[in-house]
Amino acid sequence: MSGNIQLLSDTLAAARSEGRAALIAYLPAGFPTVDGGIDAVKAVFDGGADVVEVGLPHSDPVLDGPVIQTADDIALKGGVKIADVMRTVREAYEATGKPVLVMTYWNPIDRYGIERFTAELAAAGGAGCILPDLPVQESDEWRQHAEKHGLATVFVVAPSSKDDRLAKITAVGSGFVYAASLMGVTGTRQSVGAQAQDLVRRTRATTELPVCVGLGVSDAAQAAEVASFADGVIVGSAFVKLMLDAPDREPGLVAVRALAADLAEGVRKR
């Protein structure tokens, strides 16, 4: 079975044709439980997310701030496995027909096996992977398997990336480019900053791929700001914090669905 890279591309293109940015949400698998995590992904899709990134919880998440680290710890203590990540992708995709990616660090894939991981993700209906710590120059084997299985390979660029480095990254990526809005870890912030707009401009000079901005967006006003210059707005910590702060599962689902609706309105205001 082939993965859903084309669905991802079509979804981002459809948002652009509507004159807006896409809303991309992030939630870790297995948090607060495997079933609860699946319901949370469905809830943000119901609220208006175009794409969801499902995080594969990791014990040493170098890109993630304290909110997502806390959720990852809960998922890992609950015994979440890669099979649960694949189940989350499958059930979310089957329920919504929308693109679902996995965001993961390299070590779990390396230990699991590249062919096994890509084949299972494609069979689950996944659209691809975001790989924040896989160096482009070491990505050939991954990209061969991903391409064979119809999966996007999304690389992360940062404000510190020089123009020649951007060109090397975007030349081999697919699906979209994940532009980290600032140096640092994930988390909500008061301002996304001018660095993000400059990074999008420089990245677009190297590629036709959509450029989507993450790290720091937490409300509709920030989403509208980023949507004015990016092809997609990525929101993670704000959703996870609502789930962490909720007294139990149902209020958490209501809260993330409402935030998705608010953000979806924001990306349409640009």
Active-site positions read 53, 64
The answer to whether the CB of 154 falls within 8 A of the CB of 146 is no
DSSP 155: P
Runs of H (alpha helix) within the chain: 5-17, 34-47, 66-77, 82-96, 106-112, 114-123, 140-148, 163-172, 194-204, 220-227, 237-245, 249-269
Query: Measured between alpha carbons, how far is 261 from 200 in angstroms, rounded to an integer?
Result: 25
The backbone torsions φ and ψ at residue 212, rounded to the nearest 5 degrees and listed phi first, read -115, 140
Query: Measured between alpha carbons, how far is 25 from 27 in angstroms, rounded to an integer?
Result: 7
- The residues with which 101 forms a beta bridge, in sequence order, are 53, 128
Query: Measured between alpha carbons, how far is 49 from 258 in angstroms, rounded to an integer?
Result: 11
The answer to whether the CB of 16 falls within 8 A of the CB of 231 is yes
Give which of 112, 119, 4 is closest to 52, Cα–Cα.
Answer: 4
